[in-house]
């Protein structure tokens, strides 16, 4: 854009807005095209470079985001957080932790309540227990012991380590719990072999009048199936119907699976028939459920029907 300076100056906010819109919608092709236009127009600046790097990161284009990130001399915490989140979301948690370590070496950058959830999750993914404990300590020093999002990430991290007692103490001492906190504990107890305790947490949650969401349902129904507690499973089903939690196919799949594991084939079939959409998990739950209950002929019938669709 070889126009007058004032025209060039007005173009920068316009490009910034476009990049932000493309990043929000993960429009990688449009980000690349706009990057090329900005570069060829001679408008590339440190500020626009940062915006482009964020756009690439939010569009999950790891290589371009990191390349631009390395070219930016003055980075802020937002940029660090964005690139670290990109790494964590794309299965490169190790690079997220390394970038966090680089950030700590620079006194001008302080981790904030957006940084810690990202790096705590990375520690959980990598099973870095010692570093996770250090991060927990740093969050306390930084005053994030009352930040529910940070605390939820710590809960998830400790349950992933198998440190269910530590997670339980943390949960008990939380300043404020969200429905996510309860869901993490339900699934955490179940994944670590404490199915009865998982069910107790769910009952505690309901008794405390915490409004469950679809994730709550998907967390507790496998517990009901494992314990073959069809009565609790039915109460959860009533919750799904009364609270309008059936917008997620995973909820209905979990109900089918629960009823089958509780040997209630007729109820599983009713849920299956009433589903507006089905996926491979739905069919697999029905087929494996029939086999589990000794109805091999029905399982074969569903298998043939599934493969004919």
Reported as a single tens digit per residue, the pLDDT across 96-130 is: 999 999 888 876 678 899 999 999 999 999 999 99
pLDDT at site 1: 43
Structure token digits, residue 8: 């060039």
Q: What is the DSSP letter of 253?
A: H
Has residue 29 got a pLDDT over 90? Answer: no
Q: What is the mean pLDDT of residues 152-165?
A: 97
Positive or negative: CA dihedral 97, 178, 232, 259 = negative
Does 282 have pLDDT greater than 80?
Answer: yes
The whole-number pLDDT of residue 133 equals 97
Tokens of 33: 């095209």
Q: Could you tell me how many residues make up the chain?
A: 309
Residue 111 or residue 42, greater confidence = 111
CA 61 centroid distance within chain: 19
Q: Looking at residues 257-268, what average pLDDT do you find?
A: 96
Whole-prediction pTM: 0.84
Confirm if 213 and 243 have CB atoms less than 8 A apart.
no
The predicted model gives 226-232 an average pLDDT of 96
- pLDDT band at 309, cuts 50/70/90? low
| pLDDT given at position 51 | 77
Q: What gap in Å lies between CA 193 and CA 189, rounded to an integer?
A: 6
- DSSP class per residue in 127-140: T-HHHHHHHHHHHH
Closest to 34 (Cα-Cα) out of 17, 46, 10, 57 = 17
Packing angle of the helix pair 129-141, 115-126 (nearest 10 deg): 160
SS3 30: helix
Query: How many degrees, rounded to 5, is the angle at CA 208 between CA 254 and CA 249?
Result: 20
Distances from the Cα of 243 to the Cα of 54, 205, 208, 236, 239, angstroms: 38, 15, 16, 10, 6
């Amino acid at each position: 854009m070889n126009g007058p300076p004032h025209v060039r100056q007005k173009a920068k906010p316009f490009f910034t807005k476009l990049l932000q819109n493309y990043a929000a919608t993960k429009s990688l092709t449009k980000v690349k095209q706009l990057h090329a236009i900005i570069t060829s127009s001679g408008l590339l600046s440190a500020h626009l470079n940062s915006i482009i790097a964020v756009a690439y990161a939010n569009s999950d284009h790891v290589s371009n985001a990191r390349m631009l990130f390395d070219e930016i001399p003055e980075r802020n915490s937002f940029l660090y957080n964005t690139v670290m989140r990109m790494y964590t979301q794309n299965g490169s948690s190790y690079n997220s932790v390394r970038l966090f370590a680089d950030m700590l070496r620079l006194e001008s950058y302080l981790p904030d309540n957006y940084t810690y959830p990202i790096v705590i999750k990375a520690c959980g993914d990598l099973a870095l227990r010692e570093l996770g404990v250090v991060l927990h300590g740093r969050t306390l020093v930084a005053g994030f012991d009352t930040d529910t999002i940070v605390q939820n990430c710590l809960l998830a991290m400790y349950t992933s380590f198998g440190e269910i007692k530590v997670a339980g103490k943390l949960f008990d001492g939380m300043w404020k719990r969200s429905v996510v906190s309860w869901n993490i504990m339900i699934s955490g107890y179940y994944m670590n072999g404490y199915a009865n305790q998982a069910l107790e947490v769910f009952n505690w949650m309901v008794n405390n009048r915490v409004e469950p969401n679809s994730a709550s349902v998907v967390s507790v129904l496998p517990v009901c199936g494992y314990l073959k507690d069809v009565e609790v499973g039915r109460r959860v089903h009533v919750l799904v119907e009364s609270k309008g939690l059936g917008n997620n196919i995973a909820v209905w799949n979990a109900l089918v699976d629960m009823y089958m594991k509780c040997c209630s084939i007729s109820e599983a079939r009713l849920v299956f028939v009433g589903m507006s959409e089905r996926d491979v998990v739905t069919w697999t739950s029905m087929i494996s459920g029939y086999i589990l209950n000794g109805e091999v002929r029905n399982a074969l019938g569903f298998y043939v029907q599934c493969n004919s669709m």
